[in-house]
Every structure is written in structure tokens, then in C-alpha cells.
Amino acid sequence: MSGTMLFVHGTGVRGERYRATLATVTAQAAAHGLPEVRGVPWGDRYGAPSGAGSRTTPRYQATHGGRRLPTEQEKLAGLWAVLYTYPWFELELAAHADQQDADEGYDDSPQQLYEQIAGFQATPALTARLADLGLTEAFQSALTDIISCQEFFDAINNEANDLFELRRLVARAVVARALIVQSSGPWTWIEPADRDELASRLTTELGVEMGVWDAMAGKSKQLGWRLAESWWQSQRGAFTDTTSPLAGDILRFLARGDEMRSYLARQIRAVTPPVVLLGHSLGGIMCVDLLCRKPVGGVRALITVGSQAPMLHELGALPALAAEAALPEDFPPWLNVYDERDILSYLAAPIFDDAIDFEIASGQPFPASHSSYWTAPLFWRRLVEFLA
């Protein structure tokens, strides 16, 4: 397919993240016979500067500003590294937890939890999975070991602990202990994904067996309200680092978008026509806004992905188009791709008569859903159909 596909990235994207996304888009486009991809790296030139907000955020340094925090995956890996050596580690911490709120609204007792673990019978699905991983005997051994360890006894009898949440700790402890029993060397450890799946399955089965899932919502809300304020205060500097590029890019474009629009227009003129604009998130807003202002020669189609342009127009906040106004007559064909799980994606067809909406059901939670389009085969097949 002749011409050029210009990839206009979204808000907050810089450096390696931009390069990795561009590489994925380029490879997928080539594999599907689409036009050659060229990137429009506007973020480094015109986006919000790095470190914006550091001087105006109270206690910036003291609340983890300017420092890279470990990811959830890294935290989990560090926890399992400890559990592989001492599987009762989390139970030991729980045994010495301070008394906080009384356990309300959930009828459970230490004796019930003890009896559940002592008499636990895995479902056929979990039994089959354990057999696949060669952990059947080690799992049974781990169940025997945990009910005889002092850390488990002390943890379940500490009134400070939520016995529902304690089941998660028990599940990880049992899995870690089973792996220790089964393993005779590092080369025999199972894959982390299989390990995490086992812990999740066991947590679920412990919860379902005791009928605690109905109580989870209320318990989670109580815990969330108790911890949220102090946690956000302690992480305000880190939160500023994370959000200032995202919000800053959008605010800069809405307040002073002329440089970004001019840069995008120059990139369009510099490549081989016909041009397909592929705009992600804020990149899609930039493309729609530019195309609404005046004719841009050589653009044959617009594809927006996970974009907020329709929502901005519904709010009357799209810079180039008055509220309720229709698209210009010379606006190119427009495919708008969204995912219901991507809370930053919106429908275009209800307010733009000529736009075509297309849903991708990635199954990913947000924010992963906001960048999962590039690896979805259905996305690329739809682009081929649209541009044919």
C-alpha cells in the first residue's frame, strides 16, 4: 500500500516508551501490508517539561518526588524472593500487626479458618493444574506444614487482622512452601506466571468455600477509606511525577497548541502522500483539531485510537470546532477505535455523523487497555479493511 502512515503518539509518552511503541506499530503495519510508518515525536519538543510541578508541590522530595518507585511487578518479585526462603514471612508480620479497627460485618473466626485449611479439598480444576506442574504431593505437604507452624497460629489469632485478607497471605505461603518442598535446585522452579496463577486460584477457592466474596466489597471500602488519605499524602511527590506529563501535555495543547499543530502540519508535508494519520489519545485530538481548521493536502484518512477528541467536542472544548458544530465537508474518512475497558476512549459517531466507531475488546484492565490496541490482531485487520 503506497503512501505514509504518520503515527502521532499520546500524552505523557517520551523516550524509550515512544520508541518501543513506534517499533511495534511499524512492525505490525508492515506485516499487514499497510503504508510505511513514520513517527511524529512531538512530546520531546512541545510537551510538558520533565519535572514540572516539583517546585510547587508541598513536601515534594519528602513524598517520593524525583525518585523512581518500584513497580507492582517488582514489588511482587521482591516479596516472592523472601517467601522462597521463609514462606511464613507475611504470616509473621501479620502475627505482630497492631490492633486497628474491630472486624465488623463478617462472621468468621480463627477456628473456622484453621479448620478450612486443615480440611481443604482442591477443586478438580486446581487439582489438575497442580498435577500439570508436578506439585500435587508438595501442595499437600505445604498444607500440613502451615497448620502446624506457629506463625500461622499467631496470625489467625491476632484480632488486628482481617481474616478475609489473611487468606491471600495463606495462599502465597502455601504455594511458596510447596515450591520449596518440590524444588531441589533453582532450575526446577516453575514460571512466575504459573506461580501467581496458583496463588490466585487458591485465594479464590479459600474465599468461595467460606462464602466471603459477598463481604469483600464492604470490607474493601472500609479499608480503602481508612488508608487512602494518608497514603496519597505520603506519595504526593511521586504522584506529581506520574501525572504532570499526562495532564501537562493536554493542558499545554489546549492553552498553547499552535506549535504542536504547526509541527504536525510540517510532518504531513514532509512525507510521501497519500498520508494516513494514526493518532493515539492526545495524538488523536491533535489530528482532529488540525483537520478541522483548514484543508491539509495529502491526507487520505484519519484513524484515532483511544482518543478523547469526541468527548472534548461534546464538552465544547475542542479548540478548532464550536460546540455542536459538524465536521468540515472536506474532512477525511475517519475510523475511531475504542475499548470499553479503556476509560480514556470515547465514541465519535454519536456526535460526528461521518465518523465510524470500531470496538476492540482487549480484556485488559485500565491503564493497560489504553495501549493494548497495537498488539490486537483484530485492530490491524480492521485498519486493512478501512484503508482498502
For the stretch 43-56, pLDDT in tens is 888 876 665 555 55
Q: Which amino acid is at 94?
A: A
Q: What H or E segment, with its residue span, contains residue 92?
A: helix 89-95
9 close to 47: Cβ distance less than 8 angstroms: no
Beta carbons within 8 Å of 249's beta carbon, 6+ residues apart: 11, 12, 43, 47, 48, 282
Q: How far apart are the first and last CA of the chain?
A: 9
* pLDDT above 50 for 19: yes
* pLDDT above 80 for 93: yes
- What gap in Å lies between CA 67 and CA 60, rounded to an integer? 10
Handedness of CA 360, 3, 27, 310 (dihedral sign): negative
Beta carbons within 8 Å of 205's beta carbon, 6+ residues apart: 120, 122, 123, 126
Least confident of 82-96, 115-129, 224-238, 285-299: 224-238
- The burial class, CB within 10 Å (0-12 / 13-18 / 19+), for 104 is exposed
297 pLDDT band (50/70/90 cuts)? confident
Give the tens place of pLDDT for each residue, 168-208: 889 999 999 999 888 754 445 688 888 989 998 898 888 74
* pTM for the whole structure: 0.58
Strands 4-8 and 299-305: unpaired
3-state helix, strand, coil in the chain (%, to 5): 55, 10, 35
Least confident of 118-127, 212-221, 222-231, 292-301: 212-221
210 pLDDT band (50/70/90 cuts)? very low
In the CATH scheme, what architecture does the domain 4-51+245-387 have? 3-Layer(aba) Sandwich (3.40)
58 pLDDT band (50/70/90 cuts)? low
- The burial class, CB within 10 Å (0-12 / 13-18 / 19+), for 369 is buried
Q: What pLDDT sits at residue 215?
A: 39
Rounded to the nearest integer, the mean pLDDT of the chain is 82
Q: What pLDDT sits at residue 294?
A: 81
State the residue for C-alpha cell 510538558: 48
Domain residue spans of the chain? 4-51+245-387, 72-234
Percent of the chain with pLDDT over 70: 80
Least confident of 13-17, 94-98, 195-199, 222-226: 222-226
Strands 275-280 and 299-305: parallel
| Beta-carbon-side half-sphere exposure of residue 78 (alpha carbons within 13 Å) | 6
